[in-house]
A and B are shown apart, each in its own frame.
Chain A
Amino acid sequence: MTLHSVQPAAEKLLGMPGSLFGTTLIIAGVALFLVNLSRRLLLLFRSQYDPRFSSLGKRFLALLTDGFLQKKLPRFYPVAGALHIIIFWGFLVLVLRTVELAGVGMKPDFALPFLEGGFGAIYTLVREIFSLLVLLACGGAFYRRAVVKPERYKGSHQGEAYLVLLLIAFLMLSDMTFEGSGLVLDRSAGTGHLGSRAVMLLMSGWSSETLISIRLASYWSHMAGLILFLNLLPFSKHFHVLTALPNVFFRKLTRGEAKPPRWDVPAVEKLQTVGVKSLNDLSWKQILDLYSCTECGRCTDNCPAHAAGRRLSPKMVTMKLRDYGVGGKGGTDGGLPVSGGVITDEEIWGCTTCGSCEEQCPVAVEHVDKIIDMRRYLVGMESRFPCEIENAYRNAEIYGDPQGMGRARRREWASGLKLTELENPGNAEILYWVGCAGAFDERYREVATAFVSLLQKAGVAFSILGSEEGCCGDFARRTGNEYLFQFLARKNIEVLQRFNGKKVVTTCPHCFNALKNEYRQLGCTVEVNHHSEYLLELAGEGRLQIPGGATFSISYHDSCYLGRYNGIYEAPRNLLQLGGAKVVELDRNRERGFCCGAGGGYLWLEEQGKRLNEMRVDNVVAANLEVVATACPFCLLMLQDGIKAREETAGLRVLDIAEFIAEKGGAAP
């Protein structure tokens, strides 16, 4: 690094040596920051245990792709994403420069050893490029906020955002001025690049007194700005600068697995309380989530409940929790309860747990687990929940299914089919987990029958559990009734463990997710396949012959619990293609798939505002095809109801992928 003739640390300021002033400023600034930081750390240290150190390889990879490479940022939001990437990378590049500048303020001849020589020259060029880009990006971001005004920023702290953008722009400009004025004073130091070169050209020929004053003023204002910025962090959403990368690193690796009430106490019977009453009941990752939220609003922008006009906005939930926690007396037991106080019942009960918010979040905030934890408090501690779900709770506990049909009728649907039950599982290759929808719902029984016919066609020896099967407990867990979930799960685990290692295949993504991801919290690991994967496997092995033939177009609706929760997007599509279908994508598909409206217990809850299934049918109608395929009983029933509610959809049919393969494989619908 080149030494300029006028160094701030060597000049006197306010009657004291610059180096003393600089050292004092920096130490005071950092100390103030640490004091303010401690308030936030306190909340973090008071939080609950959360195991987030497994699979370090995956975590480092995520840190690289989602953290440093910002993979999620430009997806769906290219302009905002690009602007952020520039500013973020600029920050990374300018870290060195900041250290250097801080050093220069304390010691006149300060220099970072590795910034001498060749690397230093390259670094200077790169830094200058990024300084300019960041400056432009700040302008772009400012323009977006002030003029474009995206809907998703509604409710965010706008003033704070403007202040920080101005501050960053100012830091860039002051750095350029400091550098540029120095270059005029000391021609031997080089000609500068871009920003500082522009400043240099502008100021060449100015008197050296003016230049010295400008150089000192720009330096000290830069340092003041830097310290102001540092001290703004613990008071604003810009705290994400510090916590976002750790938050991405400690992200949840299995999205389908809902957090147990307490990671260190998996069995609900061992708990004194359940759910979140005060912020201290959150886990440390959940607190880190609150700190990492950037208020970008992508979650809310993609939230089906929000789109339907419900009160819920995932962004506001996170913001409200954080603002309550860091402001005033929040976070203690003396204040408002979190569930039903800071966050209203309406917000808590609005969620369908579709996971779209989490999928969109660039900093890996986990909204759904917090909603579930808040529901746990309301259900478990206060018995406060929408009254319409009580029957489902009672039915599941008494009869083993939310509809209240009873175990005796579990295999009624299969009375015409020749199936072996649990009594004779010896030669069964797989276990077909029928689920409550397959067993009891009149329409979905057709899907179960179609799937069985495919299994028989492929010569698979399979077995069903009949009356031994029970509700998987998904709806209970997602609505916060953890006691009921564990009660149901334990009954099923007892049965499943008798099968020891037999592969389970489900047609329901909710059962699939519960068996695959959640039963292991209670000590049961089973190999589970969704029927989309299994049928594809059978077709791949040549056991299941699917006649191809005429191609025609159908649309496919993604199930949240299959897609976002378990990453199965391609299997159902590939299967449809094998059956001769050309899959036409609906608006909002795959990661951005729009919830049918039945998840999170909503099959048994009354919807407020617009109906999600009818909104989804709008997308299906827009595709203008005769068949929409699904791979989930909830989606199937919801779409069917949505279609019934409209007139212009008379010819539209909803089929499960298994039905499509069984009935339509190779022939036009």
Chain B
Amino acid sequence: MNIIVCVTEVSRICGHGGVNDVTGELDPKYRVQMLNPYDEAAVEEALRIRENRGIGSVTVVIVGPARTERVLHWCLSMGADSAFHIINENMEDTDAWGTSQVLARFLSTREYDLLLFGRHTIDYGSGQVGTFVAELLGLPVVTSAVRIEVAADGKKATIHSALERGNRLVVETLLPAVLTADKVLNRPRYPTLPARLAVRNKPIQRVALPLPDSGAETVELPRTDIVKVAPAKLRPKKILSPDSNLSPSEKLKFMMRGGITEKKGGSVGGTPAQLAAGIIDFLRERKLLD
């Protein structure tokens, strides 16, 4: 089974500082270079599928400037077999739709049984590329996969997709398909030293833009302009005052609780081990845990 994973670098992590106070832009000097964690989960899942089936290959693809090759190194050190780097020095000039077009055109020339994406990035986080690519390639798409089971014949897959409040949507799809990975899908491996060093023997194939015409109609890359990055406004803190209709003792209780109404339901106590056991029982009772 051949799996292609489309990954991206996240460099804008505002929580870690380095944002210019005036322009709101990240100072390139403080740019971090990391693989988007959702994409990392996708790579890990691809590797596990390959390892379980004992046959197949995992290819990673990135669209981005030269520096993003570091991210490909990480994927290769995790165990991916090969990597393609579609070089686009001007990522700032494009958007999710543009990237999707580039990827779709590249992928249309490749053979694969499964396409994996991260659900979204942790910087811009539009979460669109996976679905756009599926649309452009005319493939089925399942988003936010938290469990992926590929049938023995490799023709079908059953996917658990995360819904709100812990609900899951179980979908069966024919392959090839596009799946976008949730972070809880797995716990990505930390590469060993030989795996890191083996990267040197796995050449990255560089592809320049514009891609050679693959038969599809040429589409002009649309652009989304970022007008402004507005910093988060601090919300005024709610100050709760007790209802004047309450009796003095009720008012006192209200204030003692800090104005927070306790949720119904039991609470567990005791040592950490007892706490953990209590939580597990709770989750089992509600069938949130098998």
Q: Which residues of A approach B to under 8 Å, CB–CB?
A: 268-269, 271-274, 380-383, 385, 390, 393-394, 398-399, 404-409, 412, 467, 482-483
Give every chain B residue within 8 A of A269 (Cβ-Cβ): 197
A404-B16 contact in complex given A398-B33, A398-B34, C-beta closer than 8 Å: yes
Report the minimal beta-carbon distance from A189 to chain B, rounded to whole angstroms: 71
Give every chain A residue within 8 A of B16 (Cβ-Cβ): 399, 404-406, 408-409
Q: A408-B18, A483-B193 are in contact. List 12 more A-B contacts (CB 8 A).
A: A268-B193, A272-B194, A380-B192, A383-B190, A383-B192, A393-B190, A398-B32, A398-B33, A408-B17, A408-B30, A409-B16, A409-B18
Question: Is B189 at the interface (CB under 8 A from chain A)?
Answer: yes
Interface pair B30/A407, CB less than 8 Å apart: yes
Question: Is B24 at the interface (CB under 8 A from chain A)?
Answer: no
In the assembly, what is the distance between CA of A390 and CA of B189, in Å?
A: 10
In the assembly, what is the distance between CA of A299 and CA of B65, in Å?
A: 54
Minimum-distance CB pairs A-B, first 6: A408-B18, A406-B16, A408-B17, A408-B30, A380-B193, A409-B17
Report the minimal beta-carbon distance from B33 to chain A, rounded to whole angstroms: 7
Question: Is B27 at the interface (CB under 8 A from chain A)?
Answer: yes
A381-B194 contact in complex given A404-B16, A408-B18, A408-B27, C-beta closer than 8 Å: yes
Give every chain B residue within 8 A of A405 (Cβ-Cβ): 16-17
Interface pair B17/A412, CB less than 8 Å apart: yes
Return the chain B residue nearest A381 by Cβ: B192
Return the chain A residue nearest B18 by Cβ: A408
Give every chain A residue within 8 A of B17 (Cβ-Cβ): 405-406, 408-409, 412
Can you list 19 contacts pairing A with B, beta carbon distance less than 8 Å?
A272-B194, A272-B197, A380-B194, A383-B190, A385-B190, A398-B32, A398-B34, A399-B32, A405-B16, A406-B16, A406-B18, A406-B30, A408-B17, A408-B18, A408-B19, A408-B27, A409-B18, A412-B17, A467-B29
Give every chain B residue within 8 A of A404 (Cβ-Cβ): 16
Return the chain B residue nearest A376 by Cβ: B193
In the assembly, what is the distance between CA of A592 and CA of B194, in Å?
A: 39
In the assembly, what is the distance between CA of A408 and CA of B33, in Å?
A: 14
Report the minimal beta-carbon distance from B48 to chain A, rounded to whole angstroms: 14
Interface pair B192/A406, CB less than 8 Å apart: no
Interface pair B191/A467, CB less than 8 Å apart: no
Give every chain B residue within 8 A of A390 (Cβ-Cβ): 190
Question: Is B134 at the interface (CB under 8 A from chain A)?
Answer: no
Question: Is B147 at the interface (CB under 8 A from chain A)?
Answer: no
In the assembly, what is the distance between CA of A393 and CA of B190, in Å?
A: 9
Q: Which residues of B approach A to under 8 Å, CB–CB?
A: 13, 16-19, 27, 29-30, 32-34, 189-194, 196-197
Report the minimal beta-carbon distance from B31 to chain A, rounded to whole angstroms: 10
A382-B30 contact in complex given A399-B16, A409-B17, C-beta closer than 8 Å: no
In the assembly, what is the distance between CA of A394 and CA of B33, in Å?
A: 11
Report the minimal beta-carbon distance from A657 to chain B, rounded to whole angstroms: 30
Report the minimal beta-carbon distance from B193 to chain A, rounded to whole angstroms: 4
Return the chain A residue nearest B195 by Cβ: A383
Tally the A-B contacts, defined by beta carbons under 8 Å: 57
Interface pair B190/A382, CB less than 8 Å apart: no
In the assembly, what is the distance between CA of A393 and CA of B74, in Å?
A: 14
A383-B191 contact in complex given A408-B16, A408-B18, C-beta closer than 8 Å: yes
Interface pair A383/B18, CB less than 8 Å apart: no
Return the chain A residue nearest B10 by Cβ: A398
Interface pair A483/B196, CB less than 8 Å apart: yes
In the assembly, what is the distance between CA of A269 and CA of B193, in Å?
A: 8
Return the chain A residue nearest B197 by Cβ: A269
Report the minimal beta-carbon distance from A86 to chain B, rounded to whole angstroms: 50
Return the chain B residue nearest A387 by Cβ: B187
Give every chain A residue within 8 A of B194 (Cβ-Cβ): 272-273, 380-381
Return the chain B residue nearest A405 by Cβ: B16
Report the minimal beta-carbon distance from A389 to chain B, rounded to whole angstroms: 10
Give every chain A residue within 8 A of B18 (Cβ-Cβ): 406-409
In the assembly, what is the distance between CA of A393 and CA of B189, in Å?
A: 12
Report the minimal beta-carbon distance from A488 to chain B, rounded to whole angstroms: 15
Among A381, A382, A398, A412, find the residue whose CB has the most chain B CB atoms closer than 10 A.
A398
Give every chain A residue within 8 A of B192 (Cβ-Cβ): 380-383
Give every chain A residue within 8 A of B189 (Cβ-Cβ): 383
A271-B193 contact in complex given A398-B34, A404-B16, C-beta closer than 8 Å: yes
Report the minimal beta-carbon distance from A611 to chain B, rounded to whole angstroms: 14
Interface pair A406/B193, CB less than 8 Å apart: no
Report the minimal beta-carbon distance from B13 to chain A, rounded to whole angstroms: 7
In the assembly, what is the distance between CA of A272 and CA of B192, in Å?
A: 11
Give every chain B residue within 8 A of A274 (Cβ-Cβ): 193
Interface pair B32/A406, CB less than 8 Å apart: yes
Report the minimal beta-carbon distance from B201 to chain A, rounded to whole angstroms: 13
Interface pair B32/A381, CB less than 8 Å apart: no
In the assembly, what is the distance between CA of A407 and CA of B28, in Å?
A: 12
In the assembly, what is the distance between CA of A404 and CA of B32, in Å?
A: 11
In the assembly, what is the distance between CA of A383 and CA of B17, in Å?
A: 31
Give every chain A residue within 8 A of B196 (Cβ-Cβ): 483
In the assembly, what is the distance between CA of A409 and CA of B194, in Å?
A: 33
Return the chain A residue nearest B189 by Cβ: A383
Give every chain B residue within 8 A of A272 (Cβ-Cβ): 194, 197
Return the chain B residue nearest A398 by Cβ: B34
Give every chain B residue within 8 A of A383 (Cβ-Cβ): 189-192
In the assembly, what is the distance between CA of A412 and CA of B27, in Å?
A: 15
Give every chain A residue within 8 A of B34 (Cβ-Cβ): 394, 398
In the assembly, what is the distance between CA of A380 and CA of B32, in Å?
A: 24
Give every chain B residue within 8 A of A268 (Cβ-Cβ): 193
Interface pair A406/B13, CB less than 8 Å apart: yes
In the assembly, what is the distance between CA of A268 and CA of B193, in Å?
A: 9
In the assembly, what is the distance between CA of A385 and CA of B189, in Å?
A: 11
Report the minimal beta-carbon distance from B198 to chain A, rounded to whole angstroms: 10
In the assembly, what is the distance between CA of A227 and CA of B228, in Å?
A: 90
Report the minimal beta-carbon distance from A190 to chain B, rounded to whole angstroms: 70
In the assembly, what is the distance between CA of A483 and CA of B13, in Å?
A: 25
Return the chain B residue nearest A408 by Cβ: B18
In the assembly, what is the distance between CA of A431 and CA of B128, in Å?
A: 48
Return the chain A residue nearest B17 by Cβ: A408
Give every chain B residue within 8 A of A393 (Cβ-Cβ): 190
Give every chain B residue within 8 A of A467 (Cβ-Cβ): 29-30
In the assembly, what is the distance between CA of A511 and CA of B33, in Å?
A: 25
In the assembly, what is the distance between CA of A412 and CA of B16, in Å?
A: 12
Among A273, A382, A398, A408, find the residue whose CB has the most chain B CB atoms closer than 10 A.
A408
Return the chain B residue nearest A482 by Cβ: B193
Report the minimal beta-carbon distance from A396 to chain B, rounded to whole angstroms: 12
In the assembly, what is the distance between CA of A418 and CA of B179, in Å?
A: 53
In the assembly, what is the distance between CA of A133 and CA of B189, in Å?
A: 62
Report the minimal beta-carbon distance from A477 to chain B, rounded to whole angstroms: 14
Give every chain A residue within 8 A of B27 (Cβ-Cβ): 408
Return the chain B residue nearest A404 by Cβ: B16
Report the minimal beta-carbon distance from A500 to chain B, rounded to whole angstroms: 23
Give every chain B residue within 8 A of A408 (Cβ-Cβ): 16-19, 27, 29-30
Report the minimal beta-carbon distance from A165 to chain B, rounded to whole angstroms: 47
Return the chain A residue nearest B15 by Cβ: A406
In the assembly, what is the distance between CA of A398 and CA of B15, in Å?
A: 14
Give every chain B residue within 8 A of A412 (Cβ-Cβ): 17
Give every chain B residue within 8 A of A382 (Cβ-Cβ): 192
Report the minimal beta-carbon distance from A526 to chain B, rounded to whole angstroms: 24
In the assembly, what is the distance between CA of A269 and CA of B195, in Å?
A: 11
Report the minimal beta-carbon distance from B248 to chain A, rounded to whole angstroms: 34
Return the chain A residue nearest B37 by Cβ: A394
In the assembly, what is the distance between CA of A381 and CA of B194, in Å?
A: 7
